[in-house]
Amino acid sequence: MSVASLPPSIFLILERNIGKKLLVILEPSYGFEGILASVKRTPPGVWLSDANAVTLRATIAQPIPQVSNRIERSEIFINLNAAQRIEVLHKE
């Protein structure tokens, strides 16, 4: 997706969630989890602080992918063109 093809509402939704914990999935079994620090429009992306690289795993018994492994990272920039899915994680 190019910058022109991302609707402005995506950026508004992300900006409303600054300070909340996100899970950004890049591939079906890999992604990043962290606190949304900022949103950039060019290039389209998000900065995550206190980030963890996560491995997702699904089984026949649990077809919805669950986080199976976390590797600590500090901060990371994720280009939205590479993201497949973004989830806002609520506190438990």
Residue ranges of domains in the chain: 3-87
Give the pLDDT score at 42.
87
- Which secondary-structure segment (H or E) carries 14? helix 8-16
Task: Quick: pLDDT tens for 10-22.
Answer: 889 999 999 999 9
**Both tokens assigned to 54:** 């996560």
Contacts of 4 (CB under 8 A, 6+ apart): none
Give the pLDDT score at 6.
64
Residue range 11-38: mean pLDDT, rounded: 93
Model pTM greater than 0.85?
no
Query: Could you tell me how many residues make up the chain?
Result: 92
Topology given in CATH for the domain delimited by 3-87? SH3 type barrels. (2.30.30)
pLDDT score of 23 more than 90: yes
